[in-house]
Structure 1
Amino acid sequence: MFLGTYEPKLDDKGRLILPAKYREQLAGGLVITRGQEHCLYVFKVEDFMQMQEDARKAPLSNKEARNYLRVFLSGAVDQEPDKQGRITIPANLRAYADLERDLAVIGAGSRVEIWNSQAWTSFLEEQEAAFAERDEEIIPGVL
C-alpha cells in the first residue's frame, strides 16, 4: 500500500527519484499513465495488468468506456526504476500533468500519484474543508 506525501524534484532529464518507502514495491516494474485531475498515476505492473483485464469486461458498445480506455492506455508507459530509484517521465505525460521542477508525490493506496506541486496544494486546499465537514458515509459500510 502506498501512503504519505513527498516533495521530490524533477531533474533536467525528466527523472524523479521515487520516495524510499515506495521503491521496494515498485522495484519489479511500474506503469505510469494519465490520471484524473491532471495528475499521473503510477501502478505496480501486476496491478495495472489486473486493471486492464477488468477493463476488458466493459462492452465495446459503450462509447464512454472505449474513450476512457483509449486515453488511459495510450499514454501508459512501463518502466523499471534504475539503481538510484529513478524513473523517467516521458514528455507527453509531463505536459499532461504540467510537471515542472517541484512535484508532489502522494500515496493513494493501490497507486502513487504524481502532481505539479502547486496543483496539488490547490486541490488539497479545496478538498480539505469538505473532507473535514463530511458527516455521512462516502463508501457505504467502509468510510
Structure 2
Amino acid sequence: MFLGSHSLRLDEKGRLALPVRFRELVAGGVVLTKGQERCVYGLTHERVAEVQRARAAAMPADTGRARALNRLGFGSMVELEADKAGRITLPALLREYAGLDRDVVVVGVDTRFEIWDAAAWDAYVAEQEAAYAESESEGMPTLS
C-alpha cells in the first residue's frame, strides 16, 4: 500500500528518487501515466492489469468513450525500472503534462502513488482540506 506525502526534488535530468518504501513496492517495475488534476500516477504492473479488467467489465470496448480512455490512458503509459539509487526518470511528456519542474510531492494513494508539482499540491490541499475536515467518516479508517 502506498502511504504518506513526501516532498522531493527532480534533478536536472528529470530523475526522481522514490521514497524507500515505494521502491520496495515497485521493485518489479512501475508504470507512469497521466493522472487527474494534472498529476502523474505511478502504478504497479499488477494494478494496471486490475484496472483494465475492471474497465473492460464495466464498459463495452466499442464505445467512443472506452476508445478515448484506452487511447489516452495506455498511450500515455511508460514502463520504467528504478536505477540502483532508486531513481526513475520522468519522461518530458509527463513532466510537461503535470507542470513538474523541480519541487514535487509524491503522495501515496493506496494502490498508486501520485507525483504533483509542489505548488499545485499545496493549492489542492488548501482547497480540499476544509471539506475533508468536515466530511463524515464514510469509507474512512477510524481509530475506534
TM-score, normalising length from structure 2? 0.90
Measured in 1, the distance between the counterparts of 2:28 and 2:82 equals 8
Question: CA offsets per residue over residues 26-83 of structure 1, 9 Å max, x none?
Answer: 1111100000000000001111122223333321333222212211111000011111
The aligned runs of 1:24-43 (5 Å cut-off) are: 24-43=24-43
One-letter amino acid matched to 1:48: V
Measured in 2, the distance between the counterparts of 1:49 and 1:60 equals 15
User: CA separation of 1:127/1:56 partners in 2, compared to 1, >3 Å: closer, same or farther?
Assistant: same
Any idea what SS the aligned residue of 1:7 has? strand
Measured in 1, the distance between the counterparts of 2:36 and 2:66 equals 15
Q: Structure 1 vs Structure 2: percent identity of aligned residues? A: 45
Q: Which residue does 1:59 correspond to in 2?
A: 60
Q: How many residues of Structure 1 are paired with residues of Structure 2 in the alignment?
A: 139
Cα RMSD of the aligned pairs, angstroms, is 1.3
Q: Which residue does 1:103 correspond to in 2?
A: 104
Which segments of structure 1 move beyond 3 Å, counting only runs of 4 or more? none
Q: Which residue does 1:78 correspond to in 2?
A: 79
Pairing 1:9–2:9 present? yes
Measured in 2, the distance between the counterparts of 1:35 and 1:69 equals 13
TM-score, normalising length from structure 1? 0.91
Measured in 1, the distance between the counterparts of 2:61 and 2:5 equals 37
One-letter amino acid matched to 2:17: I
| Further displaced range: 74-83 or 58-67 | 58-67
Question: CA offsets per residue over residues 70-107 of structure 1, 9 Å max, x none?
Answer: 11111000011111100010000000000010000000
